[in-house]
Structure 1
Amino acid sequence: MNQNNIAAKREQEKRIVSLMIRTYCRGHHGTRQGLCPECQTLQEYALLRADRCPFIETKTFCSNCRVHCYKPAMREKIRAVMRYSGPRMLFSHPVLVVRHGIESIREKKHLERENNEA
């Protein structure tokens, strides 16, 4: 994968996590424009993690990564965001949700093959 593709993948991941955090903040904190301070902190943290991810070239999603780089408290927050926002994105961003489902199935099959070969 070349540098342009890696950068595009990194930007897409950042865009998706930002969408999910915005959906969560709107639903839980009633924000209409921008983010509340708590969600803003989480977004800044998530974007920093995405910028520094050494596995961006090969990984599909953070949940499938072997190394969890989020601090435990932030990991729980982002999990709550994902649980809330994921199903709701089906209506606002259906293509992203379908793509996520397909990539999750592929990753699961890939991991099963790796485990069977080992």
Structure 2
Amino acid sequence: MERELKTVGIMIDMYCRHSHGLDQRCGDCEELFEYAAQRYLRCPFGKDKPVCAKCRIHCYHPQMRDKIRAVMKFSGPRMIFFHSILAVRHLIATRQEPPGSTGTKKSAPPHNT
């Protein structure tokens, strides 16, 4: 969880620096980080928390979800260049099955021709 908080903090910093031209987080970006931190700390999965994109529980308010998506869309591709170890660890985490999933993919229904 600590690694995820560090990663999201770095991503928000990168986004804020680019979008708002500040060397430190602006008020809106700090609010987003605090919100994300609270969501992580209150996650019912605890240390087994999956990455948010794979989670079956969507705990972000829709407005905050839109904000964090914008941050991730901007910062995600840049993470590999500026914070490669965190980026690789996050990519590995996205490959892991979330808690409570069966681990098997459902097959598509047969295609009738």
- Shorter-chain TM-score bucket reads 0.7 to 0.9
Q: Secondary structure at the match of 2:48?
A: coil
Quick one: distance in 2 between partners of 1:50 and 1:91? Answer: 25
Partner of 2:27: 37
Give the alignment's TM-score, normalised by structure 2.
0.82
Runs of 4+ in structure 1 deviating by more than 6 angstroms, as ranges, are none
Quick one: distance in 2 between partners of 1:91 and 1:17? Answer: 16
Where does structure 2 lack aligned partners over 5 or more consecutive residues? 107-113
Partner of 2:67: 77
Deviation per CA, 1:49-79, whole angstroms, max 9, x where unpaired? 1111111322320111000100000001001
Alignment match of 1:20 (pick from 8, 11, 30): 11
Bigger Rg, structure 1 or 2:
2
Partner of 1:7: none
Quick one: distance in 1 between partners of 2:102 and 2:76? Answer: 24
Q: CA deviation at 1:115?
A: 4.0
Partner of 1:56: 46
**Count of residue correspondences:** 105
Quick one: distance in 2 between partners of 1:91 and 1:24? Answer: 14
Q: CA deviation at 1:112?
A: 7.5
Partner of 2:58: 68
Contact conserved, 2:79 with 2:87, CA < 8 A, in 1?
Answer: yes
Where does structure 1 lack aligned partners over 5 or more consecutive residues? 1-9
Relative to structure 1, is the Cα distance of residues 106 and 11 closer, same or farther in structure 2, using a 3 angstrom cutoff?
closer
Q: Secondary structure at the match of 2:53?
A: helix
Partner of 1:94: 84
Quick one: distance in 1 between partners of 2:53 and 2:71? Answer: 13
Quick one: distance in 2 between partners of 1:69 and 1:85? Answer: 21
Identity of aligned residues (%): 48
Partner of 1:113: 103
